[in-house]
Structure 1
């Protein structure tokens, strides 16, 4: 009987030690997780103003496909307010840099075959023409063959946001998003099978159908992981 009582007592001690050890391990694991989570919460991105041509170029290049950024030609207003070629390039893309004098951020990257169309718009805008006037003039010139509209399917990539702050480590602009435009002059809903209005998030649709400026609009939803 005495031996049985001793055996029971020893077993109780062992179980108690095991439970204490497991509880301590659980507590240690929880502390590690909490520490990691707290450390993650404390990580902040240091966004800064775009205050140099170098920063302007780096941020504007985010509009271009990543694999093509090294070879893009970059044009636009520099920090001094002059419209210049900020960098010569040799591939199929032209980047139109953000205008430092305007609020927010808006850079674009387009296929070089669209340059006559884009340049004509800038020219007319410099003459003081309004948006509707520019549309009508280019519509007439495109229909007559005077204005080269580029290769059907040429794409415009837009990188835009309300902020003009960027991260020097990644060149990303705070809160910026992407939008894509695929030009198909004089295309319609019937010729493409696309709706004339978006039917849901991320859904492509055709804008300005039947005109020189007909294009497919694609507006991806923001990446929540970057917020």
Structure 2
């Protein structure tokens, strides 16, 4: 009886893992939802192996990098960003893997950027994030209904004074600056939802 129970739990565990990590093709398809259409064909795509390891799913030929949905995340979220932000993004992933939380990641990258140890984009760098509720995602087909894309332009150290942007959203679809004066300063551009 004990052997049957262990076998059942092993099969159930494998089945749950297989359901939470889609195929390479589906990961690429859904990751590219965040990319502008004219950049999708050449974008590099990161995702996850069947065992959950972060990996390169596809090499790219342009300046865009996309990341598939994290199987351990809440909801559906994919992102694409300009290659100039890769050191910033990679450092964040490494710190998260070490078990660091948001504030510790922020503080570490801030200190490293100020010390010149972390390279930040020189001329601004775009990030696109597409989100949806999990019930709107078909992991069999890669179709995602009712998804929402927001854009971010990283402009390290920028402030409201240097950009003329407000520090809070002035209304739907209008840009504003978040984390002003820090390494993570960025212009938020969230289109008005229908």
Give the TM-score range, shorter chain: 0.7 to 0.9
Q: Does the 8 Å contact 1:167/1:174 carry over to 2?
A: no
2:96 paired with 1:125:
yes
Q: Does the 8 Å contact 2:179/2:186 carry over to 1?
A: yes
Cα deviation for residue 128 of structure 1 reads 1.2
- Matched position secondary structure for 2:103: helix
2:184 paired with 1:213:
yes
2:114 paired with 1:143:
yes
- Matched position secondary structure for 1:118: helix
- Matched position secondary structure for 1:71: coil
1:189 aligned residue (160, 174, 186): 160
Q: Does the 8 Å contact 1:73/1:95 carry over to 2?
A: yes
Q: Does the 8 Å contact 2:63/2:82 carry over to 1?
A: yes
Q: Give the match for residue 156 of structure 1.
A: 127
Q: 1:63 to 1:174 in 2, by over 3 A?
A: same
Cα deviation for residue 180 of structure 1 reads 0.6
Instruction: Report which of the two has the higher share of helix.
Output: 1
Cα deviation for residue 167 of structure 1 reads 8.8
Provide the rounded CA distance (Å) in 2 between the counterparts of 1:167 and 1:219: 26
Query: What aligned pairs does 1:13-28 form with structure 2 within 5 A after superposition?
Result: none
Q: Give the match for residue 40 of structure 2.
A: 69
5+ long unaligned stretches in structure 1: 1-48
Q: Does the 8 Å contact 1:71/1:91 carry over to 2?
A: yes
Provide the rounded CA distance (Å) in 1 between the counterparts of 2:76 and 2:49: 14
User: Rg larger in 1 or in 2?
Assistant: 1
Give 4+ residue runs of structure 1 displaced > 4 Å after superposition: none
2:172 paired with 1:165:
no
Provide the rounded CA distance (Å) in 1 between the counterparts of 2:122 and 2:40: 21
5+ long unaligned stretches in structure 2: 1-19
* C-alpha RMSD of matched pairs (Å): 1.9
Cα deviation for residue 99 of structure 1 reads 1.3
Cα deviation for residue 202 of structure 1 reads 0.6
Paired residue total = 174
Deviations, residues 143-165 of structure 1 (Å, cap 9, x unaligned): 11110012322100111111251
2:24 paired with 1:59:
no
Deviations, residues 129-184 of structure 1 (Å, cap 9, x unaligned): 11111111111111111100123221001111112514988x54122100111001
